[in-house]
């Protein structure tokens, strides 16, 4: 039997993951009382019909969560093999998701949502430490979460514990709050002041030609990509799940977009981590009529 224990932070996407795994052929049981886990596994292990199973366990089990480490150890001692998938997200994103759905956190009671999230992290933190797979959904679209799950549980691809997001932005709209590394490229000549180039973005060839013709841009790319390639394996070794690399110029339309694309192209193809790119502010000047 192929048993997967699905757990993680409330609001991180467990319900969505359950539906996706069910579509992948898994038999799914959500919110199983922890006291029944061992008996359920023994029963399922003797059932040849359901060879791929997912059991959802989270803080809805209340104080029974403290029993889980011992039960998991007993399963391991009995050679009942299982994997743990832990879904996580940054606190501010979890709060935002709860506010959008107008639901209360299961542990918040009459307190603020943030208090419930803190209690939950304290309750299930040990599961994240023990997890075989940790997926941070902070920056993942539903489609991207499905792709990650399919890579692991359908394609049997090597699990990528680190997901790297490269984001271009404009300083006049603020630095991304979740950025781990921030690079300021305002030292380069600005194509905005060329009226013929102004309508284009950093995704367009005229802007790329303008920005990349400067030696300073090439030196910057060489040094930054060398730094990132040094950092990534060390972040992976330390168990980091998300890395956000932010590249900023004045408006987030020209220089930062071009250079973020170049960094993405250089890193793309490395199978040791996941990778995506976002251009946060690329269209804001057009929307404001500037």
Report how far residue 254's alpha carbon sits from residue 275's, in angstroms, rounded to the nearest whole number: 21
**Beta strands 82-88 and 2-8: pairing type?**
parallel
Within 10 Å of residue 116's Cβ, how many Cβ atoms? 22
Cβ atoms 242, 225 nearer than 8 A: no
Q: Is the pTM of this model over 0.85?
A: no
The one-digit pLDDT tens for each residue of the chain (290 residues) are 688 999 999 899 999 999 999 988 888 898 888 899 888 888 877 765 557 889 998 888 888 888 999 999 988 888 888 899 999 999 999 998 888 877 778 887 778 888 889 999 998 888 988 899 999 998 888 888 888 888 888 876 566 678 899 999 999 999 998 899 999 999 999 999 999 999 999 999 999 999 999 999 999 999 999 999 999 999 988 878 889 999 999 999 999 999 999 999 999 988 788 899 999 999 887 555 44
Q: Which domains does the chain have, with CATH numbers?
A: 2-153 (3.40.50.300), 163-287 (no CATH)
Beta bridge partners of 53: 3, 27
263, 245 Cβ separation under 8 angstroms = yes
The phi, psi pair for 24, rounded to 5°, reads: -85, 5
């Amino acid at each position: 039997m192929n048993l997967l224990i699905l757990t993680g932070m409330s609001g991180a996407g467990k319900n969505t993951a359950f539906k996706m795994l069910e579509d992948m052929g898994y038999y799914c049981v959500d919110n199983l009382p922890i006291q029944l886990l061992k008996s359920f596994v023994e029963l399922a292990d003797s059932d040849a019909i359901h060879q791929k199973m997912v059991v959802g366990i989270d803080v809805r089990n209340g104080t029974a969560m403290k029993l889980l480490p011992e039960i998991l150890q007993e399963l391991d001692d009995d050679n009942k093999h299982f994997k743990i998938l832990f879904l996580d997200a940054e606190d501010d994103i979890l709060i935002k998701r709860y506010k959008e759905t107008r639901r209360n956190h299961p542990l918040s009671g009459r307190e603020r949502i943030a208090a419930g999230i803190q209690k939950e992290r304290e309750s299930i933190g040990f599961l994240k430490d023990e997890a075989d797979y940790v997926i941070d959904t902070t920056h993942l679209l539903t489609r991207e979460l499905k792709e990650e799950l399919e890579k692991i549980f359908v394609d049997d691809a090597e699990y990528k514990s680190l997901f790297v997001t490269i984001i271009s932005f404009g300083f006049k709209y603020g630095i991304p709050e979740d950025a781990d590394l921030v690079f300021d490229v305002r030292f380069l000549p600005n194509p905005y002041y060329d009226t013929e180039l102004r309508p284009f973005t950093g995704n367009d060839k005229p802007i790329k030609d303008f920005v990349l013709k400067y030696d300073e841009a090439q030196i910057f790319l060489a040094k930054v990509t060398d730094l990132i390639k040094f950092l990534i394996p060390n972040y992976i070794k330390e168990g980091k799940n998300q890395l956000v690399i932010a590249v900023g110029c004045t408006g987030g339309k020209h220089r930062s977009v071009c250079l973020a694309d170049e960094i993405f192209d250089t890193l793309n193809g490395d199978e040791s981590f996941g990778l995506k790119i976002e251009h946060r502010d690329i269209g804001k000047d057009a929307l404001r009529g500037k």
